[in-house]
Amino acid sequence: MEGIKIIVLAKQVPDTRNVGKDAMKADGTVNRAALPAIFNPEDLNALEMALTIKERIAGTTITLLTMGPGRAAEIIREGFFRGADDGILLTDRAFAGSDTLATSYALAQAIRKMGRVDLIVAGRQAIDGDTAQVGPQVAEKLRIPQVTYAEELLDITGERIVLKRRLEHGVESVSAPLPLLITVNGTAPECRPRNARLLMKYKHAKTITEIQSAAEDYLHLYNDRPYLNIHEWSISQIETDPSQLGLEGSPTKVKKIDNVVLQAKESRIVAPTDDEIGDLMKELIANHTIG
């Protein structure tokens, strides 16, 4: 069987699971600089599914595609260390302020530029928005079917893929033709760790912007070893309609952001002693809250 071409969509996200007190600025906006940037967790599950397919079908290639600021090249390197073959950073000021629709448009246009693609794999959702929208929107823009909430790869041939989906109240197995877009659940197998050999091979992988700001002594490296070049695409590399990009291309606008204000109740403090807890339980039984 001939290898298939897989694109993994990944996002670098602020780690909203570990939000410290300095995460918010005084004006109520998010202080992104105070949050560590990580590989979106479910995108790692997606990468693992792609790597599993690569092991099953010889000649398969995995390209990691991410949209974000220059710093997002970090997750492409992370993908290389775990087995991705190629990486593209889609970065341009014109993408700033994109909502999910404008994001999916830019990603779909980048994918179109890549020629034949058999499978696109993405995490179900990113932890900074939890919308789960970009995957299905990319599929629609490319006019290909989608399988969401994939948890397990059951079978794959060059033409079809069989997947188990995790739904709210159960599971479903589906057989879908390629080309296809899959979104992968956090319940799917965890991504394998970095591979020591790949870490050595790719630790100097850089985008052109990063290379230009690096020490001159190393520049020959990127001619001698072309795999160390992380492709950096701006809007000049992909065909786009500017009215569909960034803030202008985003139908949703943030009207306002409110700080969370706690409307404090009159709370009664109950000591963790037998006496006070006993009285509390008696009171709740007496007023028919319980019992």
Partner 1 sequence: MNSVFVYCESDNGIVAEVSLELLTKGRKLANGLNCKLEAVVIGTKLNGCENDLFPYGADVVHVADDPRLDPYQTLPHASIFTGLMREKKPQIVLIGATSTGRDLGPRVSSALHSGLTADCTSLEIGDHEDKKEGKTYKDLLYQIRPAFGGNIIATIINPDHRPQMATVREGVMKKEITDPDYRGELKKIEVDRYLQPEDFAVQIIDRHIEKSRINLKGAPVIVAGGYGVGSKENFDLLFELAETLGGEVGASRAAVDAGFAVHERQIGQTGVTVRPKLYIACGISGQIQHRAGMEESAQIISVNTDPEAPINAIADYVIIGDVADVIPKMIRHYRKNTK
Q: What is the rounded CA–CA span in Å between residue 70 and residue 212? A: 13
Check residue 122 for interaction with partner 1 (CB under 8 A): no
Nearer to partner 1, 224 or 274 (CB): 274
Stretch that binds partner 1, among 70-78, 218-226, 233-241, 272-280 (CB under 8 A): 272-280
User: CB pairs under 8 A, 24+ apart, for 189-194?
Assistant: 189/45, 189/48, 189/49, 189/52, 189/152, 190/44, 190/45, 190/48, 191/44, 191/45, 191/47, 191/48, 191/51, 191/82, 192/48, 192/51, 192/82, 192/83, 193/82, 194/78, 194/81, 194/82
Stretch that binds partner 1, among 22-30, 53-61, 70-78, 88-96 (CB under 8 A): 22-30
Check residue 177 for interaction with partner 1 (CB under 8 A): yes
For partner 1, how many residues bind (rule: CB under 8 A)?
Answer: 75
Check residue 171 for interaction with partner 1 (CB under 8 A): yes
Residue 30 corresponds to which tokens in the numbers above?
A: 């998010």
Stretch that binds partner 1, among 44-52, 59-67, 81-89, 279-287 (CB under 8 A): 279-287
Q: Are 190 and 45 in contact (CB under 8 A)?
A: yes
Check residue 158 for interaction with partner 1 (CB under 8 A): no
Residue 250 corresponds to which tokens in the numbers above?
A: 């985003």
Check residue 33 for interaction with partner 1 (CB under 8 A): no
Site for partner 1 in 210-239 (CB under 8 A): none
Site for partner 1 in 130-149 (CB under 8 A): 130-137, 139-141, 145-149
Q: Of the candidates 99, 151, 152, 232, which one interacts with partner 1 according to CB under 8 A? A: 99
Nearer to partner 1, 196 or 271 (CB): 271
How many residues does this entry show for the chain? 291
State the residue for tokens 């188990």. Answer: 164
Nearer to partner 1, 24 or 37 (CB): 24
- The phi and psi torsions of 134 (rounded to 5 degrees) equal -65, -40
Check residue 37 for interaction with partner 1 (CB under 8 A): no
